[in-house]
Amino acid sequence: MFTHVMIGSNDLERARAFYDATFAALGGEPGEMDARGRLIYAHNDGRLMITKPIDGNPATAANGGTIGIAAASRDHVLAWHKAGTTHGGTAIESPPSERPNGAFVAYLRDPDGNKLTARSRPTK
């Protein structure tokens, strides 16, 4: 359904450190900066793009928004969560845990306040 998700950042190098580490934990590649100054991550047929807002105003996190990132396993979710908290992210909501449907889930806010979740596929 979606081609990509674009979020704003006030500090692209800080965002790069966070997202390079969290995507590496999921088996992804480091981000690449395009000619327009956007940081781009391609992983599992999806794209996450990070940019300074084009209107020149500060980037803010979406209130009520969450970006979900697919993880292959519980271990990947845990590695993602650890990489995120080590590289400027903040653990939020419940600790990483298994849901009733068997999916393993963790939540973070990135250094700019965007809410993220990594989750394995449900088993039930």
Residue 78 · residue 91 · CB < 8 Å: no
pLDDT in tens, the chain (124 residues): 677 899 999 999 999 999 999 999 999 999 999 999 999 998 778 899 999 998 999 999 887 889 999 999 999 999 999 999 999 999 998 899 999 999 999 999 999 999 999 999 998 7
pTM: 0.90
Q: Which domains does the chain have, with CATH numbers?
A: 5-52+65-120 (3.10.180.10)
Between the CA of residue 124 and those of 68, 77, 96, what are the distances in Å? 19, 18, 18
The total of other beta-carbon atoms located within 10 Å of residue 39's CB is 22
Please name which of 89, 96, 82, 80 lies closest in space to residue 111, comparing C-alpha atoms.
Answer: 89
Instruction: Give the span between the Cα atoms of 71 and 114, in whole angstroms.
Output: 18
Residue 84 · residue 37 · CB < 8 Å: no
